[in-house]
């Protein structure tokens, strides 16, 4: 393969994850320079583009990232990129998937239009879709791939916590990846029942809590932001007598205070994928992402 026919571009704050992906694909990686003017406006300058340019940009805390990314899209096209692929391990603004109250936007539709109009393909991981049936519904005008980190989480657990004998999810929405992880490990799984009364008011119910006494339990979820649900779930497992509680999440959006509360509640270990830069990152997504992108960068 002509090594310059496919290149990966990234921003400086995500250079390490981008290099890991580029290495897995056997392609080069280049870093986009972003200059900030005194008034706060930004000017991205892209490196040399390739006919197929893969852009690595995780969109956690997106408000400072979207404008440079959208401006860079114009530069990539002007520089000759014929196929532009966004790899966004975390994809923003998906939870507001309808107008919940008068005067509010449908944020999911807005982000779908913004990114879908500029990229030929979008690849993400464990998109937080709620009621939206598929990632294709968010990006009807472009190809989109929604990967799951369940098997990567299961592999990490198998290597680092082989004593795990039960997988637990915090709510019914977590069932697909909890089931996949449990199937891979050959362990039983169960889900909490969750009733949400507000952003910070969540009630959990656990069937037959006595079943967890003395067990090594992995509490698996796609996302942790405030940490409230996982903190309550961890505390309930601890009170039920669980011997070990390993918390695993795909997207770590929580702060150190929430991590401290998780540990205080009884979490013996906290691990996240590197979809979002975080102190708990332990599970690399580069192999998963590379497998999905093989057709874009053939050997």
Q: What is the CATH number of the domain that holds 157?
A: 3.40.50.2020
Q: Does residue 1 lie in a domain region?
A: no
For residue 211 the two structure tokens come to 């079943």
Mark whether 142 and 159 lie in a shared domain: no
Are 174 and 78 in the same domain? no
Instruction: Tell me what the mean pLDDT of segment 209-233 comes to.
Output: 93
Q: Whole domain around residue 269: which residue ranges?
A: 150-274
Please answer whether residues 52 and 296 qualify as being in contact, where contact means their C-beta atoms are separated by less than 8 angstroms: yes
Higher-pLDDT residue of 56 and 195 is 56
- Place 197 in a pLDDT band, splitting at 50, 70 and 90: low
Q: Would the pLDDT of 169 be above 60? A: yes
The tally of domains found in the chain comes to: 2
Q: What is the pLDDT of residue 2?
A: 42
Segment 26-55 shows an average pLDDT of 97
Shared domain check, 81 and 196 = no
C-alpha span between 56 and 180 (Å, rounded): 26
Helix (H, G, I), strand (E, B) or coil at 26: coil
Confirm whether 279 is domain-assigned: no
Are 38 and 58 contained in the same domain? yes
pLDDT in tens, 227-254: 999 999 999 999 999 999 999 999 999 9
pLDDT of 3:
47
If you write DSSP's letter for every residue of 204-225 in order, what string do you get? Answer: EE-S-GGGGTT-EEEEEEEEES
Give the pLDDT mean for 23-45: 97
Do 172 and 263 lie in one domain? The reply is yes
For residues 30 and 41, state if they share a domain: yes
pLDDT of the residue at 9: 98
Distance CA 120, CA 127 (A): 18
Percent of the chain residues topping a pLDDT of 90: 84
Q: Is the pLDDT of residue 206 over 90?
A: no
Answer yes or no: pTM beyond 0.85.
yes
| In a shared domain, residues 10 and 138 | yes
User: Same domain, yes or no, for 159 and 111?
Assistant: no
The percent of residues in the chain predicted with pLDDT above 70, rounded, is 97
Return mean pLDDT, the chain. Answer: 93
Q: Tell me, what's the pLDDT at 4?
A: 67
Which H or E run includes 71?
A: helix 66-78
Whether the pLDDT of residue 194 is over 80: the answer is no
Q: How confident is the model at residue 24 (pLDDT cuts 50, 70, 90)?
A: very high
Give the pLDDT score at 290: 97
Q: For residue 105, tell me if it sits in a domain.
A: yes
**What pLDDT is attached to residue 1?**
36
Within-domain flag for 128: yes
Say yes or no: 85 and 164 in one domain. Answer: no
The answer on 87 and 34 residing in a single domain is: yes
Residue 298's pLDDT is: 81
In a domain, 45, yes or no: yes
Let me know whether 229 and 288 are in one domain. no
Whether 156 is covered by a domain: the verdict is: yes
Summarize the chain as % helix, strand, coil (round to 5). Answer: 35, 30, 35
What is the distance, to the nearest Å, from the Cα of residue 160 to the centroid of all Cα atoms in its chain? Answer: 21
Distance CA(247)–CA(220), nearest Å, equals 6
pLDDT interval class at 199 (50, 70, 90): low
In whole angstroms, give the CA distance from residue 214 to residue 284: 30
Residues 143 and 155 in one domain: no
């Amino acid at each position: 393969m002509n090594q310059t026919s496919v290149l990966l571009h990234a921003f400086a704050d995500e250079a390490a994850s981008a290099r890991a992906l580029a290495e897995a694909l056997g392609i080069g990686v280049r870093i986009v320079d972003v200059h900030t003017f005194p008034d706060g406006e930004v000017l991205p300058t892209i490196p040399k583009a390739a006919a197929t340019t893969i852009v690595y940009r995780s969109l956690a805390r997106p408000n400072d990232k979207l404008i440079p990314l959208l401006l860079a899209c114009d530069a990539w096209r002007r520089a000759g990129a014929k196929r532009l692929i966004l790899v966004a391990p975390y994809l923003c603004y998906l939870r507001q998937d309808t107008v919940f109250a008068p005067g509010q936007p449908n944020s999911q539709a807005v982000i779908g239009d913004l990114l879908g109009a500029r990229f030929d393909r979008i690849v993400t991981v464990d998109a937080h879709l709620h009621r939206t049936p598929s990632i294709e519904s968010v990006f009807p005008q472009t190809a989109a791939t929604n990967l799951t980190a369940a098997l990567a989480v299961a592999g990490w657990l198998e290597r680092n916590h082989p004593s795990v004998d039960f997988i637990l999810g915090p709510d019914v929405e977590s069932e697909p990846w909890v089931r996949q992880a449990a199937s891979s490990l050959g362990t039983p799984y169960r889900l909490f029942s969750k009733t949400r009364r507000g952003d910070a008011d969540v009630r959990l119910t656990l069937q037959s809590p006595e079943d967890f006494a003395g067990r090594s339990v992995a509490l698996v979820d796609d996302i942790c932001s405030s940490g409230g649900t996982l903190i309550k779930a961890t505390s309930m497992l601890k009170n039920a007598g669980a011997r070990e509680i390993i918390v695993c999440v795909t997207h770590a959006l929580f702060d150190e205070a929430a991590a401290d509360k998780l540990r205080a509640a009884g979490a013996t270990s906290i691990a996240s994928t590197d979809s979002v830069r975080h102190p708990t990152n332990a599970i690399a997504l580069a192999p998963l992402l590379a497998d999905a992108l093989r057709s874009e960068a053939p050997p």
